Structure 1
Amino acid sequence: MTNPSADRRDFLTGRLAQQIAAEAALRSTDSPSTETPTRGPVLLLQTTAMACHFDVILNPDGPARQVEAASEALDLVHQLEAMMTIYRPEAELAIINQTAALEPVEVSGELLDLLIEVRDLVAKTEGAFDPTTGPLIAVWRTARKEGRLPSTAELEAARQLTGMDQIQLDVASKTVRYRQPGVELNLGAIGKGYAVDCAGRHLSSRGIDHWLVHGGKSSVLAAGDHAGHGGWPVGLRDPLLPQHSWGTILLKNQALGTSGTAAQGFRVGGRRYGHILDPRTGWPVENVLSVSVLTARAALADALSTAFFVLGVEKTRRLCDNSTDVGVLLFTQSSRQMAAEATIINVPPEILYPARSPAASF
């Protein structure tokens, strides 16, 4: 019989691999915990918002009011999109982008609280998470359409418009002002997670104890139990072969946020460039394939997955040394073969299930 603990030991790499393998080896091979948890019957409610699908997934034996509560949670996602999107001129954030370079703009309490968190995250991640990179993204979008790389002058001009120091956030007066025209805020790297959190809070406030909320598949928050697993099984894709499974992670009252470049990117001169930019240089991040973050809130998981993608293995490890409530699965390109190497930080081994065969998960 194949030893599942040995399989996991071989599967994991990175500094914590030996520790994880040792803990895994203590498990009995006959223990039910070594069996990959799989998806059972569910109720699914779905809507389209923020250019992706939002799902609320429920156990079918839950209270009758859970369907109504889930529908309300999805309605809330649309309300939040109307606040955070930059693609509708009447949206609150779009109005801020249009006028904040001319005069201070009053901000709603909810958006102000989110912007305060964003500002703090930019500082904590040393600028690796930055919601002001719109001008840089625009330069790369133009270059991509023209089949070339941006010039140094183009990138430098765009960088002059980026950075949270361009944003004057006055908490006392509840206003925001931009230091110059061309500056913009884009909450795309945290907005879906924030909406997922709000939907989850609504479900809990309605007395629904067991649920999973997906935002575009990259932002997930789960509560309670599914199919007797003590959590909700969520599938992770292989970052090099997205059609294949890397494995399953069992979410136990926590969020999972993932950033990766497998689905987006372009080639110039035979070289591939991903879509995630290092805001400190203006260039796409290299060598990192995918980052998944486990933490209490989906908004935080989303923001940190982007930041850790930019920071890479060692800086991510240093930031997480004193943050045991943040778990990370960071995938890099193996230098020895066409494979993804996983660095595991603060993720309990008992919730990780490497793919030995296909399993149904969310």
Structure 2
Amino acid sequence: MPENKTNSNRRDFLTGRILKQAIENTGDNLADYLNQSTEEFAAPTGGSTIRLSTRAMATEFAMVMNPGPSQQVMRASDALDLIHEYEQLMTVYRKSSEISRVNATAAEGPVTMDLRLFEILDRARQICLDTEGGFDPSSGPLIALWRDCRLEGRLPTQPEIDACLQHTGIDQFLFDHDAGTIQYKSPENELNLGGIGKGYALDLAGQFLKSEEQEHWLFYGGFSSILATGIHNGLPGWPVGIKNPLFTSQRLGTILLQDCAMSTSGSSVQHFRHQGKRYGHILDPRTGWPVSELLSVTVIAPDAALADALSTAFYVIGIEKALEYCEKHTQVGTILIPPPAQGRKLSPVIRGIPNEFLFLDRDQLLSQ
């Protein structure tokens, strides 16, 4: 959707053309991820909301708020406008973006950049180290190889993958924290924030809203990245749905988010088949091949950038390593869903999420 059309639609909303209708919406119209309770399990219920959205980073970003003063709608609109500014910092799909400039010149010598970009690249570097390479912002060449091969209807060859691996790995990027610069070891190196950028954009926009003293909202990017603060419908947080990764039209449960972020990764939607075999879109940066140990991973974390990166990392490193990470970082919680050993019922592995904030449909779970 063109940006000017998006802004026009949102301004129509702000002038009141559809404000009354939005306020009258019930929880059914909250969003696909906000939930009504069912007879099977007593999930929290979403109530009336106001919702604004924009298109950025090839997906939808939306702000969901409790009905209230008109000023909060104007602030939400300003926060959505900021998402486009952050996209210009982080997208590798525009030659004019800040990160594209860094990728094009950092092999020639240390490059300075917008402090926000340096901050998130350094954060991605640290998460890469903490997850033993399960999340790696330097894996862009591998992603591009698989994308091209998919369009050609074939798999990459091992020599092609090995060639990419020679230019990936966070050790090939020299960070100077005092100067705020990065230098690449090779012109073939590339940094890509595709696995953390949406979350970071939510965090920055959320900081703006908090500076404006707006307290109760849920902000999402692409339905897989969510940041929530405050309360909704008399609940200690915002009710967010968790899909069944085997049957994505079914809701497996509901989680209450308060002053935290959530991200989900899986290959149930994005995948392709070659010669009868299914390949997911999430690659192991260490081997260059898709991973398939888990059906889906949901991560709860203090901020959306961390939740984004860890949901990908946990999917790659598997259950044992993911639980080890949560043991060391107690502010992080996770729901890990492996394929069922038999039948269709699931056996989630849950760590660090209080029972009073998680409501699962027991009929879809294997009895323990």
Note the alpha carbon deviations across 1:309-331, whole angstroms, 9 max, x for none. 10111111111113221100011
Residue 69, structure 1, aligned to residue 113, structure 2? no
Indicate whether 1:146 and 2:146 are aligned: no
- Structure-2 separation of matches of 1:227 and 1:110: 35
Is 2:111 the partner of 1:99? no
Q: Distance in 2 between matches of 1:269 and 1:86?
A: 32
2:54 aligns with 47
Helix, strand or coil: the match of 1:67?
helix
In the aligned structure 2, how far is the partner of 1:237 from the partner of 1:217? 11
Name the residue aligned to 1:241.
Answer: 247
Q: Structure 1: which amino acid aligns with 2:87?
A: E
Equivalenced residue count is: 323
Equivalent residue for 2:64? Answer: 57
Distance 1:247 1:133 in 2: 33
What's the C-alpha RMSD, in Å, of the aligned pairs? Answer: 1.4
Alignment of 1:1-362 (within 5 A): 35-60=42-67, 62-355=68-361
1:293 partner SS: strand
TM-score norm. by structure 1 comes to 0.86
Partner Cα distance (1:108, 1:146) in 2: 37
Is the contact made by 1:239 and 1:340 (CA closer than 8 Å) also made in structure 2?
A: no
Gaps spanning 5+ residues in structure 2: where? Answer: 1-40, 364-368
Per the TM alignment, residue 277 of structure 1 is displaced from its structure 2 partner at its CA by 0.4
Displacement after TM superposition at 1:138 (Å): 1.7
SS in 2 for 1:181: coil
Structure 2 distance, partners of 1:336, 1:287, is: 15
Structure 1 Cα separation of the partners of residues 343 and 179 of structure 2:
56
Letter in 2 for 1:294: I
Correspondence for 1:26: none
Q: Is the 1:46–1:74 contact (alpha carbons within 8 Å) kept by the matching residues of 2?
A: yes
Query: Unaligned 5+ residue runs, structure 1?
Result: 1-33, 358-362
Per the alignment, in what secondary structure is the counterpart of residue 147 of structure 2? helix
Comparing both chains, which one has the higher relative contact order based on Cα–Cα distances under 8 Å and sequence gaps of 6 or more?
A: 1
Identity of aligned residues (%): 49
Is this contact kept in 2: 1:288–1:331, CA < 8 A? yes
Cα deviations across residues 246-295 of structure 1 (Å, max 9, x unaligned)?
11111121110111111111111211010000011111011211111001
Deviations 1:181-213 (A, max 9, x none): 221111011100011111111111111111000
| Cα distance between partner residues in 2 of 1:356 and 1:49 | 37
Q: How much has 1:97 moved relative to structure 2?
A: 1.2
1:356 Cα shift? 7.0
Supply the AA of the counterpart residue of 1:92: E
What TM-score does the superposition give when structure 2 sets the normalisation length?
Answer: 0.85
Cα pair 1:333 1:339 within 8 Å, conserved: no
How many angstroms apart in 2 are the aligned matches of 1:286 and 1:219?
21
Distance 1:273 1:338 in 2: 20
C-alpha distance in 2 between matches for 1:206 and 1:55: 18
